[in-house]
Amino acid sequence: MPDERQLKRWFPRRKVSLPCTASWPDRQVRGKTVDVSYAGVGVLLSEPVGVDVEVLVQIPEGIWLRARPVYLQQEHENGAKYLVGCKIELIERGEQQWMNLCYVPRW
């Protein structure tokens, strides 16, 4: 029988608060990451975005991620903020830095 404390996700999320920039062909928005995993990233933005267009997420230390937004949720306690959950499609730059950032030790 599996240990009940075992992580439920294939790639667990790690809470990380870093500044980032989300870019589309027609605009660029500053935001911050809220969580990361090998397969995805959660980004808090100041304006709503469409979930049907690929986004380039740039994180300090040279990490560039091509991602596909999969959900948008308004954060009421933070004022006019929007949480965008993205699935990573491609790590364009900084693959090793991204792997280090996402690492979650399994005790």
pLDDT tens for each residue of 44-100: 998 877 778 899 999 988 999 999 999 888 875 656 689 999 999 999 999 999 999
pLDDT band (50, 70, 90) for residue 18: very high
3-state secondary structure (DSSP) of residue 99 = helix
Q: Are 44 and 21 in contact (CB under 8 A)?
A: no
The confidence score (pLDDT) of residue 78 equals 53
3 state SS of 31: strand
Is residue 3 predicted with pLDDT exceeding 90? no
- Domain spans of the chain, in order of start: 55-97
The 3-state DSSP class for residue 76 equals coil
- Give 43's strand partners: 33, 84
pLDDT in the model for residue 69: 92
| Largest pairwise CA distance in the chain | 51
Alpha carbon of 98 to those of 2, 40, 78: distances in Å?
A: 29, 11, 27
Query: Using an 8 Å Cβ cutoff, are 24 and 55 in contact?
Result: yes
